[in-house]
Amino acid sequence: SPTSDRRPIRDLPDELISQIAAGEVVERPASAVRELVDNALDAGATQITVRLLAGGVRLIAVEDDGVGIPPEELPVALRRHATSKITNLHDLEAVSTMGFRGEALAAIASVSETALLSRTQDQANGFLLDARSGELRPAARSRGTTVEVKELFFSTPARRKFLKTDATELAHCVEAVRRHALARPDVGFAIWHEGKLVEQWRATLDRADIDNADKHQEALGRRLADVLGADFIEESVAVQFKLGNATVSGRAGLPDAARSRADQQFCYVNGRFVRDKVLTHAARSAYEDVLHGQKQPVYALFVEIDPLRVDVNVHPTKIEVRFRDSREVHQAVRHAVENALAVPRAQALAAAAA
């Protein structure tokens, strides 16, 4: 009930600030998995292994072979708003890494028992930092980083209560890795649950060939087949289109491949998986004449655009973006998919006429 007593204004304790922020960033185990895989990719990893217990609630361990973190920076990595990825506003506006807010590790550590184990090229051995106790000690490790997250939400039972069954949380974790895997055929991924290998996608593109458009497209096709199944490739056509500042590539499913659920619609902007109304509307409108009723098309579309023309700092989880010229992006995606679908349509018409 309202009271006339006035309470003094006070700064919140640091830990509580992080726990509040964690509410935005870490909704469930899959959100932590996504952030940790983002970090591994930003560190230049070529192989990322995710190990889970109890759908990720009891343990999430993400292991990479990236550049690592030197021991003196391990405590810094856990601090709120501490990042190696940007240093000024200019960097922010042109950001090309997955992360940049310096929030994820602090948020995750504030609602779990987190440990960092890492070794850089220059170190003779690795170092292990226990986030809770602050204890830092030498530990064996090859180059790279392992982030171990135990007992997620143990300190925030309200949040823990919202978690679903282990099987459901596991499915979300796998989906989070799948989204990364689709965009990065140059990186190998493995997911283990309760000691069993759940998914494994091997790298199909050599790092040296990463800028070779043909090899990249080929590797992407193989990765899409590995992750989404051979059917996805057989029932889709290649997309390759440039309009103004936007380049669109990937694959668009044929109308016959449409499903009742929109569970195979993957959109990426500069390699980042996004949920964006402009992109989904554009893709959907490309199917206007060929897809009727509630059927949902399948596609994996990769939009590349000058980082200065897209704002990724819209949402704490960065799943939403804002385009400077959303009309141009809409047209690019719509035409890209329409053009891709036009070839098989013309072939089908010709076959029907013959």
Could you list the residues that contact ligand ADP (CB under 6 A)? 35, 39-40, 43, 64, 66-69, 77, 83-85, 99-106, 145
- For residue 173, the partner it binds in Mg ion, ligand ADP, none, with Cβ less than 5 to 8 A by kind, is none
- For residue 186, the partner it binds in Mg ion, ligand ADP, none, with Cβ less than 5 to 8 A by kind, is none
Say whether 236 sits in a helix, a strand or coil.
Answer: strand
37 vs 163 by CB, closer to Mg ion: 37
Question: Residues 6 or more apart from 215 whose CB is under 8 A from it?
Answer: 205, 206, 209
CB of 83 to ligand ADP, least distance (A): 3
Window 25-44: residues binding Mg ion (CB under 5 A)? 39
Say whether 351 sits in a helix, a strand or coil.
Answer: helix
What is the total residue count of the chain?
A: 354
CB of 212 to Mg ion, least distance (A): 28
Q: Of 112, 135, 107, whose CA–CA distance to 17 is shortest?
A: 107
39 vs 280 by CB, closer to Mg ion: 39
Q: Of 306, 310, 217, 296, whose CA–CA distance to 264 is shortest?
A: 296
Other C-beta atoms closer than 10 Å to the C-beta of 80 total: 17
CB of 18 to Mg ion, least distance (A): 14
Place of tokens 């009891």: 58
Alpha helices in 191-276 (DSSP H): 213-228, 230-234
CB of 65 to ligand ADP, least distance (A): 10
CB of 36 to ligand ADP, least distance (A): 7
68 vs 188 by CB, closer to ligand ADP: 68
Q: Does the protein bind Mg ion through residue 66 (CB under 5 A)?
A: no
CB 109, CB 154: distance < 8 Å: no
Residue from 62, 104, 177, 239 touching Mg ion (CB under 5 A): that is 104
Q: Which residues bind Mg ion (CB under 5 A)?
A: 39, 99, 104
